[in-house]
Amino acid sequence: MASGKPTLVLGIETTCDETAAAVVERQPDGGGRILSNIVRSQIAEHAPFGGVVPEIAARAHVDMLDGIVRQAMTEAGIGFDKLNGVAAAAGPGLIGGVIVGLTTAKAIALVHKTPLIAVNHLEAHALTPRLTAGLAFPYCLFLASGGHTQIVAVLGVGKYVRLGTTVDDAIGEAFDKIAKMLGLPYPGGPEVERAARHGDPKRFEFPRPMVGRPDANFSLSGLKTAVRNEAARMIEPSPQDIADLCAGFQAAVLDLTSDRIAVGLRLFHDQFGPPRALVAAGGVAANLAIRNALQDIAAKAQTTLIIPPPALCTDNGAMIAWAGAERLALGMLDDLDSAPRARWRLDEDAQTPAKFAKTRAQH
């Protein structure tokens, strides 16, 4: 669907506990800009439960989404008749929320006769640096959030090869569980990071699961169990005990993350040549200690580190709109019967490393 005019796409994100909508503009040369990006967090609703409650999240999306879409369109200064496409995160995520967002997008597409793009939430994270930094393919993505931990070769729109993933907990999930275990407030990730600044990372000898393995996979459950066991030995942990536990946990995460990404970058280089950059996305990328570790990893691998602004690392509508605009430019549209999906692998229809190597050799 190439044309000489800019395209305007509305994006809707409701896969977890952010209700979000945004409008982006994509230029014919591939450049883009955000015209609006409205995000309404549900932290207050879920805080009493120490985690996201799917039913509460879905109900909040129902209550809030229409108003947020309206606000995004107003801030962008356009009417629905000016849209070239409407995109919604169709998964993976909490199915109740996904249904709300995708159904809303379908209604807008139907009423205004606008093309629909059902976006994989993970692809939206993967393509964000093309919006924020104009990054060309191929590049290596480290995606770390409460629900996902993956290392992915991003070869093109719709062309992804997963180099590594977690075999149990995601990094963000492990941070949240440690926080809950130690009685820290929700959301837990930032609280663990804050406590770790005042702790001794060497007081406890926590394991570094998977370090040294030739694959690029992660495992966090054994580390989480080790922290729980140490905490259980304390009748009533002091604030310093908690800070030391957090510091030791975070130090172990940094070590295993550095090792796993180094392997992932090596696999990328062996299969596809040097990446144009190492990209970090997802809420975990907001952790300052992890950002610093990633900078060291990129420097050792002689590549550039690109991390989108914090507001575009966490869930937002702009990343959905941009992924929709990228797919729209290639004519990759979806039908109104597109199904919401609780699970949706980014690379399930992607080229395998062997297939990609064969295709490259033929050209």
The domain ranges of the chain are: 7-133+313-345, 139-307
**Identical topology for domains 7-133+313-345 and 139-307:** yes
Q: What is the pLDDT of residue 249?
A: 98
Nearest residue to 13 (alpha-carbon basis) of 37, 32, 35: 37
Question: How many Å separate Cα 283 from the centre of its chain?
Answer: 7
Q: Average pLDDT over the chain, rounded to whole?
A: 93
Chain segment 279-323, per-residue pLDDT in tens: 999 888 888 899 999 999 999 999 999 999 989 998 999 999 999
For the domain made up of 139-307, give the CATH fold: Nucleotidyltransferase; domain 5 (3.30.420)
Contact assessment for residue 325 and residue 146, using Cβ atoms and an 8 Å cutoff? no
pLDDT score for 187: 87
Q: Which CATH number fits domain 7-133+313-345: 1.10.3720.10, 3.30.420.40, 3.30.300.30, 3.40.190.10?
A: 3.30.420.40
Neighbouring-strand partners of residue 120:
91
pLDDT digits (tens, 9 = 90+) for 36-93: 999 999 888 998 888 889 899 999 999 999 999 999 999 999 999 999 999 999 999 9
What are the residues whose beta carbons fall under 8 Å from the beta carbon of 235, sequence distance 6 or more?
A: none
Phi, psi of 160 (to 5 degrees): -135, 140
pLDDT-based confidence at 324, cuts 50/70/90?
very high
Q: What is the dihedral of CA 241, 244, 250, 256, to 10 degrees?
A: -110
H helices within 198-287, ranges in order? 221-232, 239-272
**Pairing between β-strand 116-120 and β-strand 85-91 as defined by DSSP bridges:** parallel
Contact 154, 126 (CB under 8 A): yes
